[in-house]
Amino acid sequence: MSQFQFLSAEWKDLCEAATKAESTAIPDPRTSCFCSRRALELAVAWAYKFDRALKLPYQDNISALIHEPTFKHTAGEAVFNKAKVIVALGNRAVHSSREIPQADSVQTVKELFHFCYWFARLYARRNRPDALLEFDASVLPITTIPKQTLDQLKRLEIQLAEKDEKLSAVLADKKSLDAEIERLRKEVAQAKQAANKLPDAHNYNEAETRDYFIDLLLKEAGWPLDQRRDREFPVTGMPTANGQGFVDYVLWGDDGKPLGLVEAKRTKRSPRDGEHQAKLYADCLESMYGQRPILFFSNGYRPSRIASDRIPRKSCFHLAGDVSLPTCSQDSV
121 with 235, same domain: the answer is no
In this structure, the answer to whether residues 226 and 192 fall within a common structural domain is no
pLDDT for the residue numbered 330: 39
pLDDT digit string (tens) for the chain, length 333 residues: 899 999 999 999 999 999 999 999 999 999 999 999 999 999 999 999 999 999 999 888 999 999 999 999 999 999 999 999 999 999 999 999 989 999 999 999 999 999 999 999 999 998 999 999 999 999 999 988 889 999 999 999 988 887 777 766 666 555 556 778 888 999 999 999 999 999 999 999 998 998 898 898 888 888 889 999 999 999 999 998 999 999 999 999 999 999 999 988 765 555 565 688 889 999 999 999 999 999 888 876 666 665 444 444 444 555 555 544 334 343 434
Looking at 170, 204, 238, which one is the last position of a domain? Answer: 204
Same domain, 221 and 277: yes
Range of the structural domain that residue 301 is part of: 212-332
Query: Does 296 lie in the same domain as 155?
Result: no
Q: Strand, helix or coil at 111?
A: helix
Cβ atoms of 199 and 248 closer than 8 Å: no
> Which pLDDT score, from 0 to 100, does residue 200 have?
95
182 with 227, same domain: the answer is: no
φ and ψ at residue 311, rounded to 5 degrees:
-140, 150
How many CB atoms neighbour CB 167 within 10 A?
Answer: 16
Q: Among 180, 204, 228, where does a domain finish?
A: 204
Contact status, residue 148 vs residue 129, Cβ threshold 8 Å: no
The pLDDT value recorded for residue 58 is 86
pLDDT of the residue at 309: 41
221 and 274, same domain (yes or no): yes
Separation of alpha carbons 326 and 91, rounded Å:
21
Nearest-5° Cα angle at 326, 320 to 331: 110
- 195 & 244 share domain: no
Single pTM value for the model: 0.83
Separation CA 194–CA 213 (nearest Å): 32
Q: How many domains does the chain have?
A: 2
Q: For residue 295, what is the domain's CATH number?
A: 3.90.1570.30
Domain C-terminal end among 204, 230, 257 = 204
272 and 160 co-located in one domain: no
144 shares its domain with 124: yes
Please tell me the predicted confidence (pLDDT) of residue 219.
87
- Residue 247's SS3 state is strand
**pLDDT value for 277:** 86
Q: What is the 3-state secondary structure (H, E, C) of 181-198?
A: HHHHHHHHHHHHHHHHCC
Instruction: Identify whether residues 117 and 244 lie together within a single domain.
Output: no
